Amino acid sequence: MMKNLQSIKTLHNGVEMPLLGLGVFRVEDGQELIDAVKNAIKHGYRSIDTAAIYENEVGVGQGIQKGIEEGDIARENLFITSKVWNSELGYEETIAAYEESLAKLGLEYLDLYLIHWPVEGKYKEAWKALETLYKEGRVKAIGVSNFQMHHLDDLMKDSEIKPMINQVEYHPRLTQKELQKFCRKHNIQLEAWSPLMAGQLLDNEELQEIASKYGKSVAQIIVRWDLQNDVITIPKSTKEHRIIENSNVFDFELTREDMNLIDLLNKNHRVGPDPDNFDF
């Protein structure tokens, strides 16, 4: 049930993941980041998503500690995600990268660890490392990011454990319907990064019309659209009022008609790299 910010989705291994979290992509390490994470926790967020390549795990960790202390919240009630970067995709390298992320975050375990990009010829070894970490109980859930259907097919051919999550670029200009259908079929939960299309959708006229109808912001309409499409989402913001605003999406419901109108904005347009054609 989507009742509030603590609403969860149960992944295929039984682990509960919050439907809505805070993303920290392109947020520099430092006080602004620490405050953003702390404030998110203060205002009811329980899920924080970072990655090794963001180079901000230290600040995220400090924000988490402050959020735990000031909110008197148990670590077990938070859901923390990080990701292994392309240069560390190998069995030993990935295990070492996990250790390093934990050390920077100041945590004893992660709730979710993802392979950040499907680097050809490398992600299978990395996946074996994630399976090991998972089987040893060192991470609660494992998954991938930016994987297309053929990458998932290829990975699952040789894997013991199916990914629990596929985190991809997902917003009204990139609705990923085929990929979502595929993930549903295989019980892999879809998660959205850049749900607001890096802010580019906030002045979209169609979305503004829908937003005014509900007395909501465009950002709230998009986040709600994600959730009603059964997609976990992690909008990014460092401003406290925006962090609060992005989470005020549990007191209304988009009609089927408005959901369809938003779907029609799709142009298969990416603001991030193409998972089939990247060179980093």
Report the DSSP beta bridge partners of residue 174.
171
- Token readout for 13 is 């291994």
Residue ranges of E strands in 105-215: 110-115, 139-145, 165-169, 189-193
- Token readout for 50 is 């970072």
Q: How many helices (H) and strands (E) does the chain have?
A: 10, 10
Adjacency order of strands within the sheet including 165-169: 22-23, 47-49, 79-84, 110-115, 139-145, 165-169, 189-193, 232-233
Give the span between the Cα atoms of 275 and 168, in whole angstroms.
9
Asked whether 88 and 117 are in contact (CB, 8 A), the reply is: no
CA 269, distance to chain mean position in Å, is 19
What three-state secondary structure class fits 67?
A: helix
Give the span between the Cα atoms of 128 and 32, in whole angstroms.
36
Give the span between the Cα atoms of 262 and 224, in whole angstroms.
11
Query: What sign does the CA torsion over 181, 182, 186, 189 have?
Result: negative
Give the span between the Cα atoms of 18 and 272, in whole angstroms.
24
Catalytic member of 54, 98, 113, 170: 54
- Token readout for 39 is 């404030």
Give the span between the Cα atoms of 32 and 204, in whole angstroms.
28
Instruction: Tell me whether residue 54 is one of the annotated catalytic residues.
Output: yes
Residues with catalytic function: 54
